[in-house]
Chains A and B, each alone.
Chain A
Amino acid sequence: DAKTTQPTSMDCAEGRAANLPCNHSTISGNEYVYWYRQIHSQGPQYIIHGLKNNETNEMASLIITEDRKSSTLILPHATLRDTAVYYCIVRGAGGTSYGKLTFGQGTILTVHP
């Protein structure tokens, strides 16, 4: 499975966009990029996922580079409740490896008033 690399921590002002990067240079062609977040030891929460096209939902946008070696999660208008650890993960591909998830170290995002 492809490994991911994320910055340890980031800050963002409330109301501004938060852009969280992730490197996954060894990703294979049929592996998806997923983003989850975890607020203070609660169970992680799904945010968004994508394969190669940019994706948007009610929570965030996901931008994947053309070579798929990196991606950026965008929270368009960060709030204090978005303060959390954000995980970029690459899903195992095919057969019985489908469910095998490897979490990166995560980025601690702190949103300031």
Chain B
Amino acid sequence: EAQVTQNPRYLITVTGKKLTVTCSQNMNHEYMSWYRQDPGLGLRQIYYSMNVEVTDKGDVPEGYKVSRKEKRNFPLILESPSPNQTSLYFCASSSIRTDTQYFGPGTRLTVL
């Protein structure tokens, strides 16, 4: 089944403790992206990647890192999480030949 998976789905952590949210897709898509969603603010893009070793900033990249060493994986790294990064995070992927983005189920992160 074609899908985008994220892990963990739920995470509660403390300020300053490094964490990684994984994202994986099995559709051989070139394009992958991370979004965060906060009440009243809609979806905001954090980072995106057009292909392996190619990443670029979205609208709200501060406090986040990403890497794209393999085509199928696009982890989101929070080196020193802060409470303002408490949010619902979505990963997405698409082929650059089509125009449809497939979204993962979401990761709900709480930073205390």
Contact = CB atoms under 8 A, between A and B. Distances in A.
B25 to A, nearest CB: 12
A100 interface: yes
A86 B16 CA distance: 35
Nearest to B90: A43
Given A41-B106, A96-B50, A103 B99 contact: no
A7 to B, nearest CB: 14
Interface in A95-111: 96, 98-106
Nearest to B49: A99
B42 A103 contact: yes
Nearest to A32: B99
A91 B96 CA distance: 12
A96 B54 contact: yes
Nearest to A99: B48
Contacts of B44: 103
Interface residues of B, number: 29
B22 to A, nearest CB: 15
Contacts of A32: 99
B43 interface: yes
Interface in B43-66: 43-45, 48-50, 54, 56, 58-59
26 contacts: A34-B99, A41-B37, A41-B88, A42-B105, A42-B106, A43-B4, A43-B90, A43-B92, A43-B102, A43-B106, A44-B101, A45-B103, A46-B101, A49-B99, A91-B99, A98-B50, A99-B33, A99-B48, A99-B50, A99-B56, A99-B96, A100-B48, A101-B45, A102-B45, A105-B41, A105-B42
Interface of A: 32, 34, 36, 38, 41-46, 49, 85, 87, 91, 96, 98-106
